Amino acid sequence: MFENFRTFETTYAGRPVVVETGKMCGLANGSCLVRYGETVVLGNVTASPKPREGVDFFPLSVDFEEKMYSVGRIPGSFTKREGKASEKAILTSRCVDRPIRPLFPKDMRNDVSVVMTVMAVDPDNSPEIAGMIATSIALSISDIPWNGPVASINVGYVDGELVLNPTLEQRAKNDLNLTVAGSAEKIVMIEAGAKEIPNELMLDAIKFGHAEIKKMVAFINDIKAQIGKPKFEFESQELDHDMLDELNSEFGEQLKYALDTDDKNVRDARLVPIQDAILEKFSEKYENLPEIIGEVMYKLQKTIVRDWLYEGKRVDGRGIDEIRPLAAEVGLLPRVHGSGMFTRGQTQVMTIATLGPVSDAQKLDGLDEETSKRYMHQYNFPSYSVGETKPSRGPGRREIGHGALAERALVPVLPSVEEFPYAIRCVSEVLSSNGSTSQGSICGSTLALMDAGVPIKNPVAGISCGLITKEDGSYMTMVDIQGLEDFYGDMDFKVGVTKNGITAIQVDIKVDGLTYDIIAEAFEKTYKARMYILDEIMLKAIPEVRPTVNKWAPKMLTTKVPVDKIREVIGSGGKVIQKISAECDVKIDINEDGNVFVSGLDLEKAQAAISIINTIGNDPEIGSIYRGKVTRLMTFGAFVEIAPGKEGLVHISKLDKQRVGKVEDVVSVGDEVVVKVMEIDDQGRINLSRKDALADIEAKKNA
Q: What is the 3-state secondary structure (H, E, C) of 234-280?
A: CCCCCCCHHHHHHHHHHHHHHHHHHHCCCCHHHHHHHHHHHHHHHHH
Q: How many CB atoms are located within 10 Å of the residue 556 CB? A: 23
346/324 Cα distance (integer angstroms): 9
Measuring CA to CA, which residue among 496, 497, 492 is closest to residue 480?
492
List residues bridging with 648 in a β-sheet: 640, 686
638/649 Cα distance (integer angstroms): 6
Quote the radius of gyration of the chain (alpha carbons, Å). 32
| C-alpha 124 chain-centroid distance | 22
The Cβ-side half-sphere exposure at 469, using a 13 Å CA radius, reads 15
Handedness of CA 283, 284, 285, 289 (dihedral sign): positive
pLDDT attached to residue 507: 93
Contacts of 502 (CB under 8 A, 6+ apart): 192, 194, 196, 197, 198, 199, 202, 495, 496
673/679 Cα distance (integer angstroms): 18
pLDDT attached to residue 368: 74
pLDDT attached to residue 681: 84
pLDDT attached to residue 622: 86
347/303 Cα distance (integer angstroms): 24
pLDDT attached to residue 571: 86
List the chain residues with pLDDT less than 70. none
pLDDT attached to residue 3: 86
The Cβ-side half-sphere exposure at 116, using a 13 Å CA radius, reads 32
pLDDT attached to residue 360: 87
Q: Do residues 359 and 517 touch, judged by C-beta distance below 8 A?
A: no
3-state class percentages of the chain: helix first, strand second, coil last, to nearest 5: 35, 30, 35
Measuring CA to CA, which residue among 87, 85, 83 is closest to residue 404?
87
Q: Do residues 594 and 563 touch, judged by C-beta distance below 8 A?
A: yes
- The per-residue DSSP string of 126-165 comes to -HHHHHHHHHHHHHHHSSS------EEEEEEEETTEEEES
Helices (H), 514-565: 516-532, 539-541
pLDDT attached to residue 682: 80
Instruction: Please report, as a single letter, which amino acid is at residue 448.
Output: A
Contacts of 91 (CB under 8 A, 6+ apart): 400, 401, 404
- pLDDT digits over 532-571, tens only? 999 999 999 999 999 999 989 998 888 888 888 888 888 8
Whether the full predicted model's pTM is greater than 0.75, yes or no, is yes
Print burial letters for 64-81: b (CB count within 10 Å at least 16), e (below 16): bbbbbebbeeeeeeeeee
